[in-house]
A = this chain, B = another copy of it.
Amino acid sequence: MAEKMALAKAINESLRRALESDPKVLVMGEDVGKLGGVFRVTDGLQKDFGESRVIDTPLAESGIVGTAIGLALRGYRPVVEIQFDGFVFPAYDQIVTQLAKMHARSLGKVKLPVVIRIPYGGGIGAVEHHSESPEALFAHVAGLKIVSPSNSSDAYWMMQQAIQSDDPVIFFEPKRRYWDKGEVNTEAIPGPLHKAQVVRAGTDLTLVAYGPMVKTCLEVADAAAEEGRSLEVLDLRSVSPLDFDAIQASVEKTRRLVVVHEAPVFFGSGAEIAARITERCFYHLEAPVLRVGGYHAPYPPARLEEEYLPGLDRVLDAVDRALAY
């Protein structure tokens, strides 16, 4: 059943499969019905599963997440869409204070299998609030799991697993990769949701990334290979938990690490990875862990985003710096 499909389509198929196989699965959000979402990720689902399962909601993100929590308490498994990254903050309180903590508050009695889908990141030339990468703002909060696929197959399978998870999962979708096609085998047996994958083996330095930056890192590895450098690329896939074992294993081999994400560097994922890997691999590292990411400034207007986003050159620059130690 392997088929080539765009990443957005893979999520669409995965949602379809979940809606088909479990009557408790719901899809809800702004414009997810007839329109199929602004990125068409929910295209056709309301037509096939009806308005009771694929729900156009009022324009109120706190309301969407808050009612999803209530639906989960009633036994449903809502998959909620937040239209763009920058619009998740009105729901922030419900997410960090209720969704994340209710399981613990109830001493394990209550489970909240809610998935929050967020198309995130830049690179599509959008207006303000449509290009942010807020994953660190959720990773700091216990009770949430955070994942981000980089390719169609992972998009399909990780969505299946996120929906099956009894914990709330924030599912960050790399919107600028929505149209990238990749093989999806809908009969495969996927690996664990929160394990990283070596997507390119190498010996000289490890690049870690997730979501949209994995593709960039693979391009960097190609470019570096031309200069005779062998980079290992690790696709983290999960931001909480982070697969430190996999990073450590790679770094013990390559002895150098560069972390790449679109989100601002300051207090970003790279900080946590650098801190913990330095502790774990103190005697292995030949260079400090370097980080490439956004600057400490609001996401810039579209005409500047190329300078803001980590691209081939900026990552290569960091690779060079790390190798120079």
Report yes or no: A267 in contact with B278, Cβ–Cβ below 8 A: no
Taken together as a complex, chains A and B put the C-alpha atoms of A92 and B61 apart, in Å, by 13
Q: Which residues of B contact A143 (CB under 8 A)?
A: 298
User: A101 to chain B: closest CB distance in Å?
Assistant: 5
Q: A137-B137, A298-B143 are in contact. Are A272 and B267 (CB under 8 A)?
A: yes
Interface digits, A259-295 against B, CB 8 Å rule (1 contact, 0 not)? Answer: 0000110111111101110110010000111110001
Report yes or no: A142 in contact with B271, Cβ–Cβ below 8 A: no
Of A141, A267, A269, most B-chain CB atoms within 10 Å: A267
- Is A136 among interface residues, defined by CB-CB distance under 8 A? yes
Taken together as a complex, chains A and B put the C-alpha atoms of A49 and B18 apart, in Å, by 60
User: A224 to chain B: closest CB distance in Å?
Assistant: 21
Interface digits, A96-126 against B, CB 8 Å rule (1 contact, 0 not)? Answer: 1100110011000000000000000000000
Copies in the complex: 2
Q: Which residues of B contact A295 (CB under 8 A)?
A: 142
User: A306 to chain B: closest CB distance in Å?
Assistant: 18
User: A118 to chain B: closest CB distance in Å?
Assistant: 14
User: Interface size class for chain A?
Assistant: 35 or more
- Is A128 among interface residues, defined by CB-CB distance under 8 A? yes
- Is A229 among interface residues, defined by CB-CB distance under 8 A? no
Q: Which residues of B contact A289 (CB under 8 A)?
A: 275, 278-279
- Is A16 among interface residues, defined by CB-CB distance under 8 A? no
Report yes or no: A105 in contact with B89, Cβ–Cβ below 8 A: no
User: A105 to chain B: closest CB distance in Å?
Assistant: 7
User: A146 to chain B: closest CB distance in Å?
Assistant: 10
Report yes or no: B275 in contact with A279, Cβ–Cβ below 8 A: no
Report yes or no: A279 in contact with B272, Cβ–Cβ below 8 A: no
Q: A137-B137, A272-B271, A275-B270 are in contact. Are A142 and B297 (CB under 8 A)?
A: yes
Q: Which residues of B contact A269 (CB under 8 A)?
A: 267
Taken together as a complex, chains A and B put the C-alpha atoms of A325 and B290 apart, in Å, by 23
- Which residue of chain B lies nearest to A275 when distances are taken between CB atoms in the complex? B274
Report yes or no: A288 in contact with B298, Cβ–Cβ below 8 A: no
Report yes or no: A136 in contact with B140, Cβ–Cβ below 8 A: yes
Report yes or no: A297 in contact with B137, Cβ–Cβ below 8 A: no
**Which of B139, B282, B287, B298 meets A100, CB within 8 Å?**
B298
Q: Which residues of B contact A297 (CB under 8 A)?
A: 104, 142
Report yes or no: B104 in contact with A298, Cβ–Cβ below 8 A: yes
| Chain A residues proximal to chain B, CB less than 8 Å | 62, 86, 89-90, 92-93, 96-97, 100-101, 104-105, 128-129, 136-137, 139-143, 240, 263-264, 266-272, 274-276, 278-279, 282, 287-291, 295-298, 325
A-B contact pairs, 7 of them (CB 8 A): A89-B93, A97-B129, A100-B298, A139-B266, A143-B298, A274-B274, A282-B325
